[in-house]
Structure 1
Amino acid sequence: MMRATDRSIPALVSLPLSLGAVLLISACAGSRAYPSLAVRDIERVEGSASAASGSIEAPPALPAPTADLTTRLAGLVDIASEAHEKFKSRQPVAERAISGVGGAISDSWTNAQVALSSLQAARSGVLTSLGELDQLYADARIANPEQVSPTAAAIEAARSQVESWVSSENAVIERLSARLR
């Protein structure tokens, strides 16, 4: 059973601690010398920052949506084909960079990461075309859900070609990425 004096012991110990904390806080509050919020010399902006020329690639221009379907499909496959060729041309550079990679965060590892990023960026046209073909195919199937129309079949043929490029590029990216881990 607890006695009345036992309950007052924590209160007696906490009272000096509380008073000490109040005194410390009040000592800090007494100072009126606040730091200035003005911009310091080190914070001033000097020079200019801009992306290196040629380092950012513009996204591929897709064929106009109002073009007839055959022309639109051919344009999307052409964009994907060009992007796939760009991917294949950058692949040896990435392969070499990754084959000579050192430890994580070394210069060779950083160069390999940059080469892999460049390889991934080269495939943007393939992925953009596949997304557009997917949308066209979905629209064609929604318009005629009962059977595959000639329109949907033409879109599916173009889509299959582009999808095969995406699959092969995915395999290369995954293989190279695994070597960097």
Structure 2
Amino acid sequence: MNRLFATVLALVPAALALGGCASSSGDYPSLAIRDAERVSGTIAAPATPAAPPPPAPAAADLAALLATIREGHDRFTGQAPAANRAVSAARGAGVGTDAWSVAQVAVANLEAQRSQVMIALADLDRIYASAAIEGADVTATAAALAQANALVEQENAEIDRLLGALAN
């Protein structure tokens, strides 16, 4: 019985405390929208549209880029025979020998020349992408890009061939 009395005695204050939490009071603020929170006025006019993008590049720009690519390719083909001779001289030579080092430098010079061509190719690619996004006619740009890609592919094939021969 003492145990039951102690349990009831412990529950009575807890019940009274919980009852105090459940009471409703009119002292709380209203959650309704206040006058300061109401939107009033008119919608502002839309901003002036941005200026149209510049027109697609002129044929002269494409011709200048193609001329730059062809000049770079001509310099590449001018350096290719020396690189071929250096790689041929390095056949059978061990890695780190003088002949191998000279051949590596010759191939690196070809790669540097190819990178100059690829810079102009990247400009052509950017012009093509801009024209395509703007909805402009891209036939001339696509033709120039195809010519440039063909030249770079020739250069890639030559460099790959030389590096393959140097690795053997």
* TM-score bracket for the superposition, by shorter chain length: 0.5 to 0.7
Count of residue pairs the alignment pairs up: 112
What whole-Å deviation, never above 9, does each CA across 1:55-101 have from its counterpart, x for those lacking one? xxxxxxxxxx9995211101100100000000000000000000110
Alignment of 1:72-111 (within 5 A): 72-101=61-90, 102-111=93-102
Report the aligned-residue RMSD: 1.9
Paired position in structure 2 for 1:19:
none
Structure 2 Cα separation of the partners of residues 107 and 162 of structure 1: 35
Return the alpha-carbon distance in structure 2 between the equivalents of residues 130 and 157 of structure 1.
12
Q: Larger relative contact order (C-alpha < 8 A, sep ≥ 6)?
A: 2
Q: Which residue number in structure 2 is paired with residue 126 of structure 1? A: 117
| 8 Å Cα contact 1:77/1:162 also seen in 2 | yes
Q: Which stretches of structure 1, 4 residues or more, deviate above 4 A after TM superposition?
A: 65-68
Q: Quote the offset at 1:125 in angstroms.
A: 2.8
Which residue matches 2:14? none
* Structure 2 residue identity aligned to 1:78: A
Q: CA deviation at 1:121?
A: 1.2
Residue 174 of structure 1: how far off its partner (Å): 0.5
Q: Which residue is equivalent to 1:157?
A: 143
TM alignment of 1:25-44, pairs within 5 A: none
With normalisation by structure 2, the TM-score equals 0.63
Which sections of structure 2, spanning at least 5 residues, go unmatched?
1-53
- Normalising by structure 1, report the TM-score: 0.58
2:155: which partner in 1?
Answer: 169
Identity among equivalent positions (%) equals 39
